Structure 1
Amino acid sequence: MPGGRAAIALAVGIAFLGGVAAGEAPEPSLSAVLKLDDVISVMHDEGLRYAKDLEDDMLDGQGGQFFHDEVDRIYDPDRMVVFVENALAEGLSDAQRRDAIAFFGTDLGQRILSLENAARVAMSDPAVEEIARAAHDDILDTGDRRLGAVTRFVEVNDLVDRNVASALGSNFRFFRGLADGRGARTSDREILADVWAQEAELRDDTESWLFAFLLMAYRPLSDTELDAYVTYSETDGGQALNAAIFAGFDAMYLSISEDLGRAAARAMAGSDI
């Protein structure tokens, strides 16, 4: 269930509960089954690291209290998770939601989610990321069965194109927020041209990172277990879930990116006074 790597709101904590007859146990929350709190926690920590790098690079490490407060607001986990919960509520039928709970509620489904989260945390260490990328490079063009299964998973879920589009959109919104915050007369067309110029490099990096991440995450799975995950991804419910998750994370990152750009611009303006 990988979402965007940048790599969201009606009410907090949508329950996703179906009808429950008297005496029956309630259907589990899809949010809980998908471990959304854990996923958002990982993305929250990634966001704080990114904001710190941004402060060092753009603000000479002098963002000040305003910037720090804005970062805390922008990366508020309760705010972040609502984008994804809303997308799941709007993008899945009752049957598709039940299918997702049925698959990810199993021991295998829970294990897959835990492996994905653990791998994403591990990849935040540059040394681990370098090793994972090298491991992927070593098996390119070798006919490796595991690489073939991961390639099928990536293609079924359109992960490269979706992640590239998400990253380009987030970059566009960041620079638009930066321009707005500075009062700059930069057109959307100019910003889009600058962002699109990065597409080829971004695509290469995204594909390399994605395969490195997935190969590391799914290494403990047997071939049969990984095949079962790919097979679920090919179903109507699996496709709907993937689309809904991307819609939620895209909305989340677009909002975060524009807010962050605007906050950086205002912090720069404050430091110039």
Structure 2
Amino acid sequence: MRRIACLTAGLMLILLTGIAARAADSARIAEFLRVTGFDVALDSIALSAESAPAMLGFEDDAFGDEWARLARLVFDAGVMRGLADDLLEAGLDDALLDHAVGFYATDLGQRLVEVENEAHSDPDGDARLARAEQLVARLADTEPARLELLERMNRAIDASGNSLRAIQEVQVRFLVAAHMAGIVELRMDPDEMRAFMREQEAETRREMERSALLGAAWTYRDFTDAEIETYLHALEEPQMQAVYALLNAVQYEIMANRFEALAAQMAGWRRGQDI
């Protein structure tokens, strides 16, 4: 994504820049999502609902036994894919779509999609993290060049480095919506919250980069250096950069939208109270 002060404003800028080109139709968008694996990435947004109580400063079980049901309702895969279809149809033209599908439809591309889809849905997160930490420690000693490739790949996926600001904006929008729904009281206004988060950015960014490296090292562990370098070069191409800018913007906008919807559904709740 481009550097943005407001996630929605940034998304609209990206969408408006694509109006001159012919937008892709819904059938081609569906095929694009399947071939690139972005459909699975969209579905995995639902996993972020697990962090909602903590984002509000509550324990995981603060809202009673019906919490999981409400989260499934709000983060419904069909709803999220519908939002993605609307945003991508407006912002993804045929040229960008063809470019991305052209790479991901190759044998290498489909192998990459397969392991990336598995990573999104892996239920054994803690065990995988421990194995990834061991792998990165070994690579640091024996194959530092491979770690450099993986770090470059992660930077290419988020070329502007704006994912952190996008995540912060999701948090701010959720907190404000929760305040409006009467769930929490806020001591800071949105601008003050953003300023406070910026003060923590250096440390948070280091943690995100470390987490991304662990994830990449484990996800692509069975790929050769040459295959990773091929993937890296594909990601660094300007057209693919534009695709990922849009995909990142869409993903975070959907996340923010669903968290705001979740807050609205929580109106009137109290801690420990079921729906």
- TM-score w.r.t. the length of structure 2 is 0.76
Alignment-mate amino acid for residue 122 of structure 2: A
Moved more, 79-88 or 97-106: 79-88
Displacement after TM superposition at 1:48 (Å):
4.9
1:86 deviation in Å?
Answer: 3.3
What letter is aligned with 1:179? H
Would the aligned equivalents of 2:62 and 2:271 in 1 still touch at CA under 8 Å? no
Which secondary structure does the structure 1 equivalent of 2:26 belong to? coil
Give the match for residue 20 of structure 1. Answer: none
Query: Compared with structure 1, are the counterparts of its residues 265 and 180 closer, same or farther at alpha carbon in structure 2 (3 Å cutoff)?
Result: same
SS at 1:15's partner residue? helix
2:212 is the counterpart of 1:203: no
Paired with 1:41 and 1:142, the residues of 2 have a C-alpha distance of 36
After TM superposition, the structure 1 = structure 2 runs for residues 28-177 of structure 1, keeping only pairs within 5 Å, are 29-44=31-46, 46-51=47-52, 57-58=58-59, 60-63=61-64, 65=66, 67-122=67-122, 125-140=125-140, 144-158=144-158, 161-177=161-177
Match of 2:259 in 1: 257
Aligned with 1:218 (options 217, 220, 226): 220
Please give the secondary structure, in 2, of the residue aligned with 1:266: coil
Is there any run of 5+ residues in structure 1 with no aligned partner, and where? 1-7, 18-27
Report the Cα distance in structure 2 between the residues aligned to 1:79 and 1:141, rounded to whole angstroms.
46
- Partner Cα separation in structure 2 for residue 37 and residue 251 of structure 1: 15
Choose from 234, 237, 240 the match for 1:235: 237
Give the number of equivalent residue pairs.
249
Give the partner amino acid of 2:149: A
In 2: Cα distance, 1:106 partner to 1:188 partner = 45
Summarize the Cα distance change of 1:94–1:62 in structure 2 as closer, same or farther, 3 Å threshold: closer
Matched residue of 2:28: which SS? coil
How far apart, CA to CA, are the structure 2 residues paired with 1:156 and 1:41?
23
- Cα distance in structure 2, aligned partners of 1:163 and 1:130: 24
Contact 2:168–2:197 (CA under 8 A) maintained in structure 1: yes
AA partner of residue 50 (structure 1): S
> Gaps spanning 5+ residues in structure 2: where?
1-10, 12-24
Pick one of 194, 206, 216 that aligns with 1:192: 194
User: What CA deviation, in whole Å up to 9, does each residue of 1:83-127 have, x standing for no partner?
Assistant: 333343333331221111111111211110111122233375223
Identity of aligned residues (%): 23
Specify the alignment match of 1:15 in structure 2: 27
Relative to the length of structure 1, the TM-score reads 0.76
- Taking structure 1 as reference, are residues 51 and 191 closer, same or farther at Cα in structure 2, changes over 3 Å only? closer
Q: Please state how far the C-alpha of 1:245 moved relative to its aligned partner.
A: 0.7
Q: Which amino acid aligns with 2:190?
A: D
Pick which of 254-263 and 48-57 moved more: 48-57
Deviations 1:130-151 (A, max 9, x none): 3313432454487622112112
| Separation of aligned partners in 2, 1:199 and 1:256 | 24
SS in 1 for 2:168: helix
| 8 Å Cα contact 1:74-1:256 kept in structure 2 | yes
SS in structure 1 opposite 2:222? coil
Aligned Cα RMSD in Å? 3.3
Per-residue Cα deviation, 1:204-262 (whole angstroms, up to 9, x for no partner): 22111101111111111122221211111122321111111101101111112323344
Q: Mean alpha-carbon deviation: is it higher for 140-149 or for 170-179?
A: 140-149
